[in-house]
Amino acid sequence: MDIFFHTQTFIVVLALYAGTAVLSLFAFWQVRDGGRTANRVAHFGACLASLLLLAFSVGVFLDGEGKALSFASPFPGIYFAFRIDGLAAFFLGLIGGIAALASWFGVSYQKHFIGKYNLGFFGFFYNAFLLGMVLAVSANQALFFLFAWELMSLASYFLVIFDREDTRNIRAGFLYLLMTQLGTVFIACALFLAYKATGSFDFDVWRLVGLAALSPVWQGVLFGSVLIGFGTKAGIIPLHIWLPEAHPAAPSHVSALMSGVMIKTAIFMIIRFFFDFFPGAPLEWGLVILILGAISSLLGVLYALSEHDIKRLLAYHSVENIGIILLGVGAALVFAGYGLQDFFVFALVAALFHTANHAIFKSLLFMTSGVVVGVTGTRNMEAYGGLIRVLPYSAFFFLIGSMAISAFPPFNGFASEWLVFQSLFVGVAASSLVVKMTFLASIASLSFTGGLAMACFAKAFGITFLGRRRESVSVEHNTSKKEKMSWLVHLPMGVLAILTLALGIGAPFVVSFLVGIVASLVFGTGGETLVFPYLQFMGMSENFSSILPVHGTAVALVVFVAVIGASVGWLTRKRKVTLAPTWDCGMPLSPKMQITATSFSRSLVIIFRGILRPTKQSDVEYRDAETRYFTSVQSVKTDFFDVYRNYVFHPIAQAIGYFSDRVKKIQSGNVNVYMLYVFITLIVLLILTMQ
């Protein structure tokens, strides 16, 4: 294990990602097999690099010391500086673990693209995407970080539009590129404001100097720039409009990476700015993040509940869970403002814990949905039904992921959401009425979110896997045979399913580990020295079971299931099972009689119609155009009014277009006029420099 303690291992990881990217292109061009070899090279190489990255991350924690290294670069103002402290090692381990499983899954999943698209290009951008995430998390210099961030964003754009025969994917990719570049503008603004405050692009200097040189107004601008820039990548409402478009467009294992870890790099940088680079942020910043988290969590699950596209549904749940994470981050900022050290650590740990948990169960759900979409050829849940008979293993794994994301004990989603709840309840005891009301509203939002998430995944699992297979879907597999166990497909799902249970039952140990990361980050060591556990910072180690009752819940659940199972088995031991058609009152049952995804969520959509703004379009064709008494075809299409596009982004786009139309008039085509522009600009710059 000593080899994983050395920084050379990290360099090998970077070289493996870069080398695999290039080798994927070479394999596609040199081996004429439709891309089969390139597919294996791209995914197995990425899997190997990711496993090594995970081992390096574990080695950092076992060693107890952070890692730092830097190299010169040929570009002015940029040098390749890396710093892997406890927080960075945690996120690198998350990236490595999820990427290894997603890459293993992708070997089989991408087979249907063989001979259709250039899988060498896919392998290049896939590994460049992973490399960009690793560089962004470990970068220790602002301009180098900006380069890594752009590498991650641009590579993921090409992955989103990879299946380019579907025009929806091209539009989704363009929207994603537009929004991510908008976020980059604000990120660059935040980085240059930090340079203005410190006189350096070095992150270590930022940690030492802080925000003291910035006026309150510029601090507010910095806060807004960080929140908008990284909030766009995270998918905070109303900056989320790219997320439900781009995540479904990408291949499913890429969707798992984008939703599971890519959007978390934004959370990583938000924590870096507000807790590492510039501690002592105003309490009001925490309240703003709390409000945004509450809105994102509640609206995210409402939009997911109204969706019938299985991958868009999962994408909206990423918005919801980012909101839950922000509730923990916002609570931590408020507690830091009050000087409540124990609860500050506790809230930030809850946010980090849910960050890891969401990466696990969301990756599991995207992988299983990828199998479903591959078998049925559609993302529309209205066309599903009875797939548990065809895909029993995928149905089981989807059920595990559904219970985890719905916060059912003893799975990991329950543990982290419970911790977020506890953090919010502490905030109610604050002295300020505004703070009290903000925390109460956040608690109400999280409560609604939990209940609606259960309803949403009851719909998703029930409509997809239970009931009868609908006639409108074409299942590629022979329905007389069940899904065969495949190590390439089901091993990653099985590992993730086990992790959802392990992190739920072992939550106290995970929290102890995470407290060490937070404590080493904010209490003097800067994350360079890691000593575990740090439970004394919480002041709760003696009564830990009462704060996180996972063990007791798990034991009670196991005992309950065992007793019920034994009782049912004993009572039915002599009963003969007879299979017979369902009594249907003489009427033949058909799949059309089943409840649909629309009807399942209809009552909740009506309750929240003021927020969701549902629309309905009816199309009727009559047999006799004159009498109009008998219909031949009648269809109803439901949709939702996009508030954000129509009221936020469209007006902005129209204003930009109007301004551009006016500005372009200065392009007269006369060279003399252009020289006048240059002359006036030089005079203005000269006057400014003289002052």
Least confident of 55-64, 267-276, 482-491, 586-595: 586-595
**Token digits for 521?**
């980050």
The rounded distance, in Å, linking the Cα atoms of 384 and 379 is: 9
Which of 490-514 are b and which e, b meaning 16 or more Cβ less than 10 Å from the residue's Cβ? bebbbebbebbbbbbbbbbebbbbb
Report whether the peptide linkage leading into residue 392 is cis, meaning its omega lies within 30 degrees of zero. Answer: no
Q: Which residue has the tokens 């190997």?
A: 48
Residue 353: per-residue pLDDT? 95
Convert the pLDDT of each residue in 226-269 to its tens digit.
999 999 999 998 888 899 999 888 899 999 999 999 999 999 99
**Token digits for 164?**
């380019």
The rounded distance, in Å, linking the Cα atoms of 162 and 158 is: 6
**Token digits for 206?**
């930022």
pLDDT band of 670, cuts 50, 70, 90: confident
**Token digits for 285?**
């910043």
% residues pLDDT > 70 (the chain) = 84
CA dihedral 263, 268, 273, 279 (to 10 degrees): 140
Flag whether pLDDT at 107 surpasses 80. Answer: yes
Convert the pLDDT of each residue in 436-451 to its tens digit.
899 999 999 999 999 9
Higher confidence at residue 626 or residue 303? Answer: 303
% residues pLDDT > 90 (the chain) = 38
Flag whether pLDDT at 671 surpasses 90. Answer: no
Residue 622: per-residue pLDDT? 55
Flag whether pLDDT at 151 surpasses 70. Answer: yes
Distances (CA, A) of 657 to 178, 185, 651, 669, 686: 15, 19, 10, 21, 32
Flag whether pLDDT at 530 surpasses 50. Answer: no
Flag whether pLDDT at 630 surpasses 60. Answer: no
- How many Cα atoms occupy the beta-carbon half-sphere of 206 within 13 Å? 22
Residue 532: per-residue pLDDT? 41
The arithmetic mean of pLDDT across residues 590-618, rounded, is 72
pLDDT band of 587, cuts 50, 70, 90: low
Cβ count within 10 A of residue 35? 26
Residue 543: per-residue pLDDT? 41
Convert the pLDDT of each residue in 18-74 to its tens digit.
999 999 988 877 777 777 888 899 999 999 999 999 999 998 888 777 777 877 767
Residue 320: per-residue pLDDT? 93
Residue 81: per-residue pLDDT? 87
Strands 80-84 and 67-71, sheet pairing = antiparallel
pLDDT band of 483, cuts 50, 70, 90: confident
Residue 491: per-residue pLDDT? 92
The arithmetic mean of pLDDT across residues 553-574, rounded, is 75
Flag whether pLDDT at 154 surpasses 90. Answer: yes
The rounded distance, in Å, linking the Cα atoms of 550 and 509 is: 11
Higher confidence at residue 9 or residue 71? Answer: 9
Residue 617: per-residue pLDDT? 56
The arithmetic mean of pLDDT across residues 662-688, rounded, is 79
Highest mean pLDDT of the ranges 507-516, 530-539, 579-588: 507-516
Q: Where are the alpha helices (DSSP H) in 506-642?
A: 507-522, 544-547, 550-571, 597-607, 609-612
The rounded distance, in Å, linking the Cα atoms of 507 and 352 is: 12
Distances (CA, A) of 62 to 7, 54, 86, 513, 632: 14, 12, 11, 12, 71
Residue 150: per-residue pLDDT? 94
pLDDT band of 628, cuts 50, 70, 90: low
Q: What is the mean pLDDT of the chain?
A: 83
Convert the pLDDT of each residue in 187-235 to its tens digit.
999 999 998 888 888 898 888 887 777 888 888 899 999 999 999 999 9
Residue 234: per-residue pLDDT? 92
Flag whether pLDDT at 283 surpasses 90. Answer: no
Cβ count within 10 A of residue 94? 24
